[in-house]
Amino acid sequence: MTPLIELRKVSKYFGPVVSLKDIDMRVYAGEVHCLLGDNGAGKSTLIKALSGVHQPSEGQIYMEGQPVVFNSPRDALDKGIATVYQDLAMLPLMSISRNFFLGREPKKKVGPFTLYDAAFAAQVAREEMKKIGIDIRDPDQPVGTLSGGERQSVAIARAVYFGAKVLILDEPTSALGVKESAVVLKYIVQAKLRGLGVIFITHNVHHAWAVGDTFTVLNRGRSYGTFKKEEATREQLLQMMAGGEELEALAVELDLIAKKDPTTAAQIEHKAAEELHKPN
C-alpha cells in the first residue's frame, strides 16, 4: 500500500539549531499515527513542514507516492492536508455553522446579489457533525458556548467535509479534562474510520495508546523510529519520550552523589521525581 504521506530523510535547521534530523515517516489511510516526544523534540516543526508553514531544509515529502512541495498552508490544505491547532482559529461570537464554513462561505444568488447561504450552511454543519457522532441542537449557537472538546470536534468535522486526506491534530487534548479528552479521542477514531490518515500529536502516552495504530517518537529532533502497537508497550514509549539514556545518566549521577552526600542526593531525587510526575 502506498502511504498517503511520506517523509524521507527530512531535516530542518534554523541557523545553528537542528530542529529535525533525517526523519523518515509514513502515514497510511485509515490509521492514527501518533507523534510523541517531549518539549522541544521537534513535533511542531515536523507538522509545520507537513502543513506548508516551513519548507524542509533537506529531504523530501511524498504524497501518494509523488514528490510534493507545500508552498503555503493554503497550498497544503488544497492538496488535502488539514491541520487543527490547539488554539483553534475560531470566532467565539459567531455561530457553529459560520465557523464551519469560515473562509469557504457557501453563496446563493438572489436577483443581482450574491449572499451568504445561511440555510445551506446550517444544514450541512448539522449533518456533518452528526456523521461524526455529535448532535448539535442549534447550528446558529455561538461557538463560544461550546466546550473545548466540542470545538475540536467542529474543526475535525470541517476538515472531513472539505475533503482532507490527512488530518493533523497538534495537542488537541492537552487543555482538556478527562471526559472532554475522551470525546475528542472518539472523533479521532471516527475520522480514521472514514479513511483519513490522522497524525495525532500529544504528550500524553495514555491518549496516544488509546487510539493509536502506529507511534513515532521524536527526541531532540531525531526519530527513535516508528512502532506498530503490537511492537511496543506503553512503558517503552514513555521511556523513549523521556529520553531513556538521559534518565540512566541521571541515575548514575545520583548514585555518585549518594555515596558522598546522602542529603543532597535525596533532595535531587525528590526534585527529579516531581519533574517526572508533572502533567505534560
Ligand X SMILES: Nc1ncnc2c1ncn2[C@@H]1O[C@H](COP(=O)(O)OP(=O)(O)OP(=O)(O)O)[C@@H](O)[C@H]1O
Q: Say which entry of ligand X, Mg ion, none residue 14 contacts (CB below 5 to 8 A, set by partner kind).
A: ligand X
Question: Helices 148-161 and 118-131: crossing angle, nearest 10°?
Answer: 100
Using CB under 6 A as the binding rule, whether residue 17 contacts ligand X is answered as: yes
Rule CB under 6 A: say whether 216 interacts with ligand X: no
DSSP 3-state of 109: strand
Site string for Mg ion, 13-52 (x = CB under 5 A): -------------------------------x--------
Contacts with 154 (C-beta within 8 Å, 6 or more apart), sequence order: 90, 96, 99, 100, 129, 143, 146
| Cβ 103 to ligand X shortest distance, Å | 25
Q: Name which of 90 and 168 has its Cβ closer to Mg ion.
A: 168
Cell numbers that stand for 175 in this block? 487543555
Task: Closer to ligand X by CB, 157 or 184: give it.
Answer: 184
Report strand pairing: 222-228 vs 66-68. Answer: unpaired
From Mg ion, ligand X, none, which one binds at residue 39 (CB under 5 to 8 Å depending on kind)? ligand X
95 in contact with ligand X (CB under 6 A): no
- Copy the grid coordinates of residue 144: 463560544
181 touching Mg ion, by CB under 5 A: no
User: C-alpha 236: how far from its chain's center?
Assistant: 21
Q: Which long-range contacts (CB under 8 A, 24 or more apart) does 232-235 make?
A: 234/205, 234/206, 234/209
* 43 near ligand X (CB under 6 A): yes
Task: Decide: is 56 part of the binding site for ligand X (CB under 6 A).
Answer: no
Identify what 37 binds: Mg ion, ligand X, none; CB under 5 to 8 Å per kind.
ligand X
Count of residues near Mg ion by CB under 5 A: 1
**What is the Cα–Cα distance from 21 to 33, expressed in whole angstroms?**
19
The continuous run of DSSP H or E covering 189 comes out as: helix 178-193
The C-alpha atoms of residue 13 and residue 155 are separated, in whole angstroms, by 31
Q: Classify residue 171 by its DSSP letter.
A: S
Based on the shown chain and the rule CB under 6 A, indicate whether residue 39 belongs to the binding site for ligand X. yes
Identify the CA nearest to 97 among candidates 122, 114, 71.
Answer: 122
- Residues touching ligand X: how many (CB under 6 A)? 11
Distance in Å, CB of 13 to ligand X, minimum: 9
Q: Does residue number 37 form part of the binding site for ligand X (CB under 6 A)?
A: yes
Q: Does 199 bind ligand X (CB under 6 A)?
A: no
CA distance 54 to 190: 29
Report residue 236 as a C-alpha cell: 517503552
Give the nearer residue to ligand X in terms of CB position, either 53 or 68.
53
- Closer residue to ligand X (CB): 87 or 135: 87
> In terms of CB distance, is 173 or 190 closer to Mg ion?
173
Q: Give the footprint of Mg ion on this chain (CB under 5 A).
A: 44
Q: Give the footprint of ligand X on this chain (CB under 6 A).
A: 14, 17, 19, 37, 39-45
